Amino acid sequence: MNGNVLRVERLGKTFGENSVLSNVSFSLPEGSSLAIIGPSGCGKSTLLAIVAGLAAADSGSVALPSHWKTAFILQDYGLFPWKTVRDNLALPLQLRGVARKTRFAAVSSMLNELGLEGLERRFPVQLSGGQRQRVAIGRALISRPDLLLMDEPFAALDAITREHLQNLLLSVWQRRRMSFMLVTHNVAEAVFLGRFIMVLSGRPATRTLWLDNPCFGDASCRNSEESLSLMRNIREALEEPGIRESGEKVMP
């Protein structure tokens, strides 16, 4: 069981007097995906930040294979307004000292892959929300991460654009097979993009449900009976914090 697995064990975090994460454990095999869903402000983003190494946990541990590279897409994309699309995309490579020519080649293939051709000289302010999100995805992918972390990546987009980008992310995953974790508060998105789904309770966030998702990545599944029942299951877990793994109720 020592293979290429991200292992999170009994993670805990408090801010001042407020406990935001309590005893959260899970593991994610290489090339798999995890959707984390929970009420807003429950500490999902904190969990992601700890996995990314941007924040320190107070207790527990995060272990990921030493050769794994991670990339993080922030909630508001985190594009730099003073850099063009091309410079935003090239930045992770530039920071690693990759030669200019190689950088530009990587950027053009990324523009191509994400359907952003012709926009390379634009600034973020000249792009639509969906285009901006594509650039953010591209910037995260350009350094070929083994683990991609996304904090509500599609929350600010309209329903159609959101669905396009979910499909885009999935097709990118099918080609590259990186692992990814995404925090969302959209149940349908969790069912479409999470090979595994973890439901967290309100503060402090603890794991209330863990699902092995048979509908992952299956667009035809979007309106099937199976996915609807899954979504119902997740919604119930979100609404009733007393529910624990495998659906059994616990007395408060």
- The residues of the shown chain that bind another protein, judged by CB under 8 A, are 52, 54, 71-72, 74, 76, 78-83, 91-92, 94-95, 123, 125-126, 139
Closest CA to 48 of 240, 37, 1, 238: 37
Smallest distance from another protein to CB 91, Å: 6
Smallest distance from another protein to CB 249, Å: 39
Smallest distance from another protein to CB 199, Å: 26
Closest CA to 153 of 187, 189, 128: 189
Q: Which lies closer to another protein via its Cβ, residue 86 or residue 195?
A: 86
Q: Which lies closer to another protein via its Cβ, residue 52 or residue 231?
A: 52
Say if CB 123 and CB 81 are below 8 A apart.
yes
At a CB cut-off of 8 Å and minimum separation 6, what does 25 contact?
8, 9, 10, 11, 60, 207
Smallest distance from another protein to CB 160, Å: 23
> Largest Cα–Cα distance in the chain?
62
At a CB cut-off of 8 Å and minimum separation 6, what does 246 contact?
none
Q: Which lies closer to another protein via its Cβ, residue 71 or residue 221?
A: 71
Q: Which lies closer to another protein via its Cβ, residue 80 or residue 219?
A: 80
